[in-house]
Amino acid sequence: MVKRFAAHFVILPDGSRRYMHGVELDADKRLRRVFPIDKETEATAFFNGTMLLKADESQRISVYYSEDLDLSAAKFGADDSGGDCHIQRLC
């Protein structure tokens, strides 16, 4: 089953950032494509905020989302005790 997610900001596994883009994952949770959101795309869940894609050693993707993540000061470490940002795992 193919899953599609889109957000205002997308951070890809290589660290590159995209504005108003979507991603498509195959049934094995591997990245099939990255696409700009220039029209409504069927069966795509859109999130208001930032989506982070993280790949494991077998290139399977985990998708995380935050509505209030500040990209200018983004730190994805466990030792950032000063942050009050909620990050939700989508898949």
For the chain, which domains are there?
3-69 (2.30.40.10)
The verdict on pTM exceeding 0.85 is no
Given pLDDT bands bounded at 50, 70 and 90, which one contains residue 38? Answer: confident
Question: What is the spatial distance between Cα 18 and Cα 34, in angstroms, rounded to a whole number?
Answer: 9
CB 44 within 8 A of CB 5: yes
DSSP letters spanning 4-28? EEEEEEEE-TTS-EEEEEEEEE-TT
CB 54 within 8 A of CB 15: no
41-70 pLDDT, tens digit per residue, is 888 999 999 999 999 999 999 999 888 766
